[in-house]
Structure 1
Amino acid sequence: MIDLTVIWAFIIAFAIFAYVVMDGFDLGIGILFPTFAPGRERDRAMNSIAPVWDGNETWLVLGGGGLFAAFPLAYAIILPATYPLIIAMLLGLVFRGVAFEYRWRDPSHRRFWDAAFTGGSLIATMAQGMILGALLQGIEIDGRAYAGSWWDWLTPYTLLTGLGTVAGYALLGATWLVWKLDGEGQAHARKLGKIAALATLALMAGVSLLNLFVRPEYSDRWLTAPELYWVAPIPIATLIVAGFMWHALSRDRHSKPFWLALLLFFFGTAGVGVTIWPYVAPPDLTIWEAAAPVRSQVFMLVGVAITMPLIIAYTAWAYWVFRGKVGDEGYH
């Protein structure tokens, strides 16, 4: 029998993953922006994402809208638990978007807009990582409503997940620039990629170890048989991919580091999924308890079956059209 709730859980997980890896390198470039020399180097970095950055945010809308439509109870609980972080994320994305446009149209204040681009990217990224941490550490629920305080999301654990997301997005941004730039810009991006890779792996390991102590069910999932035999390949594959990525960053490879960074994020996302499954708001609310009625899920599934292939198609076409290197005047 087809379980629509599980299907919707994977649809939303896919949308969130697509957003993270696509908008992640945009935000990563913003985080790394102060390390680029003003002028040509910053302009080329900005031009590398100019054709695709706003379209990447489509997946955030799909993920948030899908959560509201398919899991309304989870939406009603998670948002109040993370309101300050969500507000900070949206404001950061707004500042990032405004700065992106105005740095070209207002050259006399370009230094200000560059700072706004970096600040907005950093705030949005940190907020996204802390939202993940707040979800993983657990949300206090009373009946069908959030029962915690305004500041429950602020803990050392969520700060660590926020920093891990910052490092991960910086890695995506650096490897994207390795692919899209040449010459000194590419060499600079390789150095940044190595630093970001070390930071990402260290923080991934730290968060993974802390997860064993955050909730007892998490440690049971990763340290007891027979679950252990099913989940052990994830950290092993992560280490293998990390080794290949470091090798690619150390050699004259162009697109390979970026694809390996995406694969690293995939295994990281898989690890989060294994840790939290089947809860949508740990430790009490499962995906089945939070799901919308079956008829609503069927109705929305028809819409997603039509719109998601279109989104994937135009996204793929945009990346194919702008697949070359970036010069001083844009894509070759």
Structure 2
Amino acid sequence: MSAETIATIWAFVIATAVFLYVCMDGFDLGVGILFPWIHGKEDRDLAVNTVAPVWDGNETWLVMGGGGLFAAFPLAYATIMPALYMPIIIMLLALIFRGVSFEMRFRAATPGQHLWWDRAFSGGSYVAAFAQGVALGALVQGVKVEGRSYAGGWWDWLSPFSVVTGLAVLAGYGMLGACWLVWKTEGEMQDQVKALARRMTVLTLGFIGVVSLVVPFLLPAFRARWFDFPWILAALPVPVLVVVLAWRLFRGLAEAGHNPDNRRLVWRDGIPFLCALGLFFLSYTGLGISMWPMIVPPNITIWEAASPRASQVFMLVGAAVLIPIILGYTAYSYWLFRGKVKAGHGYH
């Protein structure tokens, strides 16, 4: 295979790793985002117990995406990191703080300590999600490059658009978390999170609309992707599918918990979560259509940023071994802990 083909494969591998991270870590960050609206220690414990078996493994994909970018596209890594140092550092610190809070809330000696660890867990989730959205917006709006290095300022990442994308990710993760809890809980708890899921979905759809209207006008290349032929043929189905999935998500929320066939109840309750993942996939696809083949908008393409072909081939062999293993243990973990989570049962 040619160097261009290998670089394209690596671009899709990294993009897939980032998307899997967003999907898997997004819903457990979303559980933390919903904490202020989940009242009572028992309900919050139940919410956390739904993600306890899988939350730390979800972050595997973040490591793979960052490591893959460093190894396969060193020029992109060397350009993006200086541009996004602040939001990335904030995100990593928030994830660490959140992980400590996750463990400590179960070992709090008094109700007051438990409440403070709950607040820390929720705060870490908010900060991490918002920082991820800001970093995404700062990358999409364009990075100033001169020669082969970052030429912008320390605060270029902070803009009205990056703040909007930060809020959009917060809302989207909240939607994922609420839909996950609809799938994994029942009774009064499920009714509570169904109402949250409806509100977070409306908020997310609003942000999708705002970002979709703004992105084509950030850079001329983005505008060409959405309005010029033949790219418009690839872009046109995206908004239509967003409407279809949104309709199915709301219908799934209305049906959740009311299926008379108990054997199928758990899987039917998962429909809103699958639709929420679909909305993320369509949003991700829309960004991909806008940016392709740029890896650092507006000037650096994946082929310009790629490491030597021999290096990419060597790493691709390793990835071909590791990725199935990661997918295998991830799938097994989710299968092992399938089903509804009941109050008083779970992580201790």
Same fold per TM (> 0.5)? Answer: yes
Q: Does 1:125 align with 2:129?
A: yes
Query: Where do residues 1-332 of structure 1 align in structure 2 (5 Å cutoff)?
Result: 1=1, 3-108=5-110, 109-252=113-256, 253-330=268-345
**Please, which runs of 5 or more residues in structure 1 have no aligned partner?**
none
Aligned length: 332
The answer to whether the 8 A contact 2:175-2:200 is kept is yes
> Residues 44 and 328 of structure 1 are in contact (CA less than 8 Å); yes or no, is this contact kept in structure 2?
yes
3-state SS of paired residue (2:106): helix
**Residues in 2 aligned to 1:305 and 1:114: alpha-carbon distance in whole angstroms:** 40
Q: Distance in 2 between matches of 1:320 and 1:257?
A: 19
Q: Percent same amino acid among aligned pairs? A: 52
Q: Secondary structure at the match of 2:105?
A: helix
Contact 1:139–1:282, Cα closer than 8 Å, also in 2: yes
Please report the RMSD computed on the Cα atoms of aligned residues, expressed in angstroms: 1.1
Give how far 1:329 is off: 2.9
Deviation at 1:96, TM superposition (A): 0.7
8 Å CA contact retained: 1:131, 1:153 = yes
- Displacement of 1:52: 0.3
Q: Do 2:216 and 2:290's aligned partners in 1 also have CA atoms closer than 8 Å? A: no
Residue 226 of structure 1 and its aligned partner are, at CA, apart by 1.8
Alpha-carbon separation, structure 2, partners of 1:198 and 1:209: 17
Of residues 33-42 and 131-140 in structure 1, the stretch that sits farther from structure 2 once superposed is 33-42
Deviating beyond 4 angstroms after TM superposition, the runs of 4 or more aligned structure 1 residues are none
Give the C-alpha shift of residue 263 in structure 1: 1.0
Q: Could you tell me how far 1:107 is from its partner in structure 2?
A: 3.5
Shift, 1:38, TM fit: 2.3
Inter-partner Cα distance in structure 2 for 1:61 and 1:175: 26
1:254 counterpart letter in structure 2: D
Contact 1:72 1:291 in 2 (8 A): yes
Rounded to whole Å, the distance in 2 between the matches of 1:231 and 1:331 is: 44
String of CA shifts for 1:47-93, please: whole Å, max 9, x gaps. Answer: 00000000000000000000001001100010000000001100110
Name the TM-score, length of structure 2 as normaliser: 0.94
Conserved? CA contact 1:322–1:331, under 8 Å: no
TM-score of the pair, normalised by structure 1:
0.98
- What amino acid maps onto 2:120 in structure 1? A
Indicate the SS of the match to 1:104: coil
Q: Is the 8 A contact 2:76 2:295 kept in 1?
A: yes
What is the CA–CA distance in structure 1 between the aligned matches of 2:236 and 2:133, rounded to whole Å?
A: 24
- Please say if residues 324 and 331 of structure 1, whose CA atoms lie closer than 8 Å, have aligned partners that are also in contact: no
